[in-house]
Amino acid sequence: MTDRLSAIRANFDDWQVDALLLTSPANRRWASGFTGSAAHLLIARDRAVLATDSRYWERAAQEAPAYEVFQLRDSKDDMRNFLALAGGPRIGLEARHVTLAFHKQLAANEGVAWVPLPATVEALRAVKSADELAAIRVAARLTDVAVALVPQLARPGITERAVAWELEKAMREAGAESVAFDIIVASGPNSALPHHHPGDRQLQAGDIVIVDLGAQVDGYKSDLTRSFYLGETAGDAFWGLYNTVSAAHQAAVAGIRPGVTGKAVDALARDLITAAGHGDHFGHGTGHGVGLEIHEEPRFSRLAEGTVIPAGAVMTVEPGIYLPGYGGVRIEDLLLVTADGAEYLSAAPQTPLIAI
How far apart are CB 185 and Zn ion at their closest, in Å? 12
How far apart are CB 104 and Zn ion at their closest, in Å? 35
Q: In sequence order, what are the beta bridge partners of 29?
A: none
When asked if residue 144 is in the footprint of Zn ion (CB under 5 A), the reply is no
How far apart are CB 288 and Zn ion at their closest, in Å? 6
100/22 Cα distance (integer angstroms): 16
CB nearer Zn ion, residue 52 or residue 225:
225
How far apart are CB 93 and Zn ion at their closest, in Å? 29
Backbone angles phi, psi at 117, to 5 degrees: -115, 120
For 140, residues 6+ apart whose C-beta sits below 8 A from its C-beta are 215, 222, 224, 334, 345, 346, 347
CB nearer Zn ion, residue 190 or residue 316:
316
CB nearer Zn ion, residue 4 or residue 299:
299
For 291, counting Cβ atoms within 10 Å of its Cβ (0-12 exposed, 13-18 middle, 19+ buried), the class is buried
How far apart are CB 65 and Zn ion at their closest, in Å? 34
Q: In sequence order, which ranges of 148-235 are alpha helices (DSSP H)?
A: 150-153, 160-173
Residues 297-336 touching Zn ion, rule: CB under 5 A, are 316, 332
When asked if residue 207 is in the footprint of Zn ion (CB under 5 A), the reply is no
Contact call for residues 5 and 48 (beta carbons, < 8 A) = yes
Helix (H) or strand (E) holding 4: helix 2-9
How far apart are CB 268 and Zn ion at their closest, in Å? 17
Stretch that binds Zn ion, among 2-10, 74-82, 88-96, 215-223 (CB under 5 A): 215-223
CB nearer Zn ion, residue 55 or residue 195:
195
Among positions 132, 168, 223, 297, the unique one binding Zn ion when judged by CB under 5 A: 223
For 210, residues 6+ apart whose C-beta sits below 8 A from its C-beta are 184, 185, 186, 187, 191, 196, 225, 226, 227, 228, 328, 329, 330
Backbone angles phi, psi at 93, to 5 degrees: -140, 160
- Mask of contacts with Zn ion, 6-45, x by CB under 5 A? ----------------------------------------
Q: How many residues bind Zn ion (CB under 5 A)?
A: 5
When asked if residue 132 is in the footprint of Zn ion (CB under 5 A), the reply is no
Bridge pairing between strands 113-117 and 208-213:
unpaired
How far apart are CB 186 and Zn ion at their closest, in Å? 12
When asked if residue 212 is in the footprint of Zn ion (CB under 5 A), the reply is yes
The contact set with Zn ion (CB under 5 A) reads 212, 223, 225, 316, 332
